[in-house]
Structure 1
């Protein structure tokens, strides 16, 4: 495959800090991490969204739900039995985008499961993506198997009826959101990196999940006041072949809150930039908040859809 020639390319790392740390302690082992992520709450963030589709920017909203959970290494599902020897702790991201194009609407849902012990388990175990719009539904899932990813997909569309193939090991763009939360800035990948592009973006562009070469940079945010937060960092991913780019804006200091993102690519002979800006963040055990009175939390998040 064409990207194999790049496997020897080094992945470089840069530091957000003035001095390098020699500590080998993982962030997940620190008290600050445990107090934030292991208290039985999820972090829920809402974003105002302008999503490019059909040659226009369309209004909508996005939701990011981060939570830790016990995850079975063999079955790639949440642990619900006493088989704890077969489970590891993961950071789960449920990433939802909803937007309207003319009369009909889109709902895109991506779930990512990344082990918190990033030096012990270096690969994300699973990412799945479902999409619904008034044309039909699609499903795509990547499971880490045999030192690579098994790709399984189903689609309403004739040219994409079914996918079932294996790709060599590569980092997933979808897992970068989790890694921002799981590691220090100086541990994030930069330089020439082999990435599988984000599944939601692949869906909108109707492309297959295959590794591609990306150039990644990380530097302090120097833009205008569109994105707000403390000591913001600007994480940029650029794909030369597809001419697509993604920038993620997040806070330098723990818990590295994501304050927004921008994604640009060419479609219908023009380049449009999707943008999401943070509205609100709460910590909440949402799985317990399922009564009509609990809609108050949606109001706190300023959710409209």
Structure 2
């Protein structure tokens, strides 16, 4: 009996002691020189955002930065040096969108956390929207290979506060997978959960949909990801540099209306900066906003 217990313990140790395999086809020495230098990449974009059937001028910002994350709690670690095996390196994207509808403004934000070295899809996704009617917040956490549990807190009575789960790939993960290496992107037919920002604007149910992903080289220096939903309602196109660090240049979200009209949300990069922005919080640092051509 004792020997059996030892064998079982060794098996359990072997299962829990082995880490997930690393991503392949990535030179993490070169990768780390860019992403582990203790700074973030900030890009600003001119934004045309469709809302209530009309095109609105606005601004988008994308901030990419690596962080030490907790596997268990799925939050940023305060003391990563003490976390041991709970620590996992992630690439974080914070994307903001600011635009005005008539008299009142919209402030939207998406956050995505994806493992850097380890194989696997995004770990955590959050999205929030604030406008003069009220605010909403959505959070989704990975519980399996492609299983996510989520919660929505909303001021709309029909939505209320709700919990849900889905199985598939998160559309919002595609941004980070491009930046890690486009070879990490699953192509062909997939089960995809539409973007959390799109869900917020459309109020669609949280469920995965059949979709198709293709990567296409557009020129010697640029490639494009195209995601098309089988329903024909929506297409996402992301244009990026096809050499490391695969910077994102512009994107389009095409929504086909029942009457045949197309609503095209479009963003084009206007400035980029590599900087430790969390240390630049004094009045004298505001000139950096002008360098990033920020207006909101």
Q: Say if 1:220 and 1:234, in contact at 8 Å, map to a contact too.
A: yes
In 1, distance between residues paired with 2:26 and 2:37?
13
Report the Cα offset of residue 186 of structure 1.
Answer: 3.5
Q: How many positions carry a matched residue from both structures?
A: 271
Deviations 1:271-293 (A, max 9, x none): 21010000011001111111011
Match of 2:4 in 1: none
Match of 1:45 in 2: 43
In 1, distance between residues paired with 2:118 and 2:239?
22
Match of 2:236 in 1: 246
- Structure 1 residues 25 and 199: CA distance shift in structure 2, 3 A: closer
Match of 1:110 in 2: 110
| SS, match of residue 80 in structure 1 | coil
Report the Cα offset of residue 296 of structure 1.
Answer: 1.3
Report the Cα offset of residue 267 of structure 1.
Answer: 4.5
Q: Say if 1:54 and 1:268, in contact at 8 Å, map to a contact too.
A: no
In 2, distance between residues paired with 1:267 and 1:186?
33
Q: Say if 1:27 and 1:182, in contact at 8 Å, map to a contact too.
A: no
Match of 1:97 in 2: 97
In 2, distance between residues paired with 1:153 and 1:103?
27
Report the Cα offset of residue 78 of structure 1.
Answer: 0.2
In 2, distance between residues paired with 1:139 and 1:131?
7
1:14-93 superposed matches below 5 A: 26=24, 29-81=27-79, 82-93=82-93
Note the aligned Cα RMSD (angstroms): 1.7
1:100-139 superposed matches below 5 A: 100-119=100-119, 122-139=120-137
Give the structure, 1 or 2, with the largest relative contact order (CA under 8 Å, sep 6 or more): 1
Candidates 191, 208, 212, aligned match of 2:188: 191
Is 1:166 aligned to 2:156, yes or no? no
Report the Cα offset of residue 221 of structure 1.
Answer: 2.2
Q: Which has the larger radius of gyration?
A: 2
Match of 1:271 in 2: 262
| SS, match of residue 201 in structure 1 | helix
Which runs of no fewer than 5 residues in structure 2 stay unpaired? 1-21
TM-score, structure 1 normalization = 0.85
| SS, match of residue 187 in structure 2 | strand
Q: Say if 2:23 and 2:117, in contact at 8 Å, map to a contact too.
A: no
In 2, distance between residues paired with 1:187 and 1:135?
39
Candidates 265, 274, 282, aligned match of 1:283: 274
Report the Cα offset of residue 27 of structure 1.
Answer: 5.8
In 2, distance between residues paired with 1:133 and 1:62?
16
Q: Say if 1:27 and 1:33, in contact at 8 Å, map to a contact too.
A: no
| SS, match of residue 177 in structure 2 | helix
In 1, distance between residues paired with 2:67 and 2:26?
13
Report the Cα offset of residue 142 of structure 1.
Answer: 0.5
Candidates 222, 226, 230, aligned match of 1:232: 222
